[in-house]
Amino acid sequence: MMAAAADNSPLNKIPPDIEKHRQLCFALDTPVQFTTAVFEKYWPFVDNVWSMHQRHHEPAQNGIKKEYGACRLYRRANRAHAAKRAKKQREGTGTCPAKFRVTVYPDGLRVLERNGDEKHSHTLDYIDSIKRCSFLRSMPLDNFFKGWEAAGIMAYLRDNSHTPDGRDILKDAGGLYLTRKEVLNVIQGAVKKAHKGQDLTTVKTNTNHSPYAATKAATHSHSPTRKIS
């Protein structure tokens, strides 16, 4: 019998339909509408794909505001390197021409749509393999994992028995390539920030030896990697 995730588990914060919405927001074959609350709910799962450009927003007209951005792999055109760039795009790496805009209406409705005809030069899986969304980066710092070791956190997140239907919801959220090292870096970064200027060798942490703490080798080998050329 499968054991559902605890009520306060960060896995429960992942929307059940996240795979569908991530794909819709990645492709933008048609405009996607969100209320303010729903936009804030789903955006942290696709901000590894799209980057908002802070300096290219139009002034609001009749209460309607437009915000612009582009793919994380977007680079401005450079004719001198056009051939080389095109070759990289065909290989699924390098630059990406995809851009987007968000139209914000007075009632809070947001419409996310492609800005121009250019599509991504890569897949969603590819961008997931080289960059993590902010939701995934924040998971190791959730209070649920307070005191846990990185290996234990990864083992818990990889254990599909914590989802009601046994599916890999971490993968659906873009976490297929998340590694123990990344989780450890997030934790260490938080410790350094909390104890800025202090000798970290003197900082004591309480480690909760969870049922998953002794699975470092299995967790590390379970995480696929993607070589970036």
**Per-residue pLDDT tens digits for 75-85:** 754 443 554 55
What single-letter amino acid sits at 42? Y
Q: 123 with 137, same domain?
A: no
Q: Which of 179, 160, 185, 162 is nearest to 223 (CA)?
A: 179
Supply the range of the domain harboring residue 105: 18-130
Residue pLDDT tens, the chain, 229 long:
445 567 789 999 999 999 999 999 999 999 999 999 999 999 999 999 999 986 556 667 788 999 999 999 997 544 435 545 555 444 445 689 999 999 999 999 999 999 999 999 999 999 999 999 999 999 999 999 999 999 999 999 999 988 878 889 999 999 999 999 999 999 999 988 887 877 766 665 555 545 444 433 343 344 454 433 3
Vertex 195: Cα angle to 191 and 199 (nearest 5): 100
- Report whether 223 contacts 180 (CB < 8 A): yes
Q: What is the DSSP letter of 200?
A: G
Which residue, 80, 98, 130, sits at the end of a domain?
130
Q: 161 with 204, same domain?
A: yes
Q: 103 with 153, same domain?
A: no
Which residue, 130, 157, 175, sits at the end of a domain?
130
Domain count within the chain = 2
Backbone φ and ψ of 164, nearest 5°: -55, -40
Q: 44 with 124, same domain?
A: yes
What single-letter amino acid sits at 2? M
What single-letter amino acid sits at 184? L
- Report whether 163 contacts 4 (CB < 8 A): yes
Domain assignment present for 210: yes
Residues near 173 by Cβ (< 8 Å), separated by ≥ 6? Answer: 14, 18, 19, 22, 45, 133, 135, 136
Domain assignment present for 35: yes
Domain assignment present for 228: no
Please report where in the chains the tokens 């996607």 appear, as a residue: 32
For residues 202 and 192, give the distance between their C-alpha atoms in angstroms, rounded to a whole number: 12
Q: 116 with 193, same domain?
A: no
Which residue, 72, 103, 130, sits at the end of a domain?
130
Give the model's pLDDT for residue 220: 39
- Report whether 213 contacts 148 (CB < 8 A): yes
Domain assignment present for 229: no
Q: 181 with 89, same domain?
A: no
Q: 28 with 79, same domain?
A: yes
pTM: predicted TM-score of the whole model, two decimal places? 0.78
Backbone φ and ψ of 55, nearest 5°: -100, 5
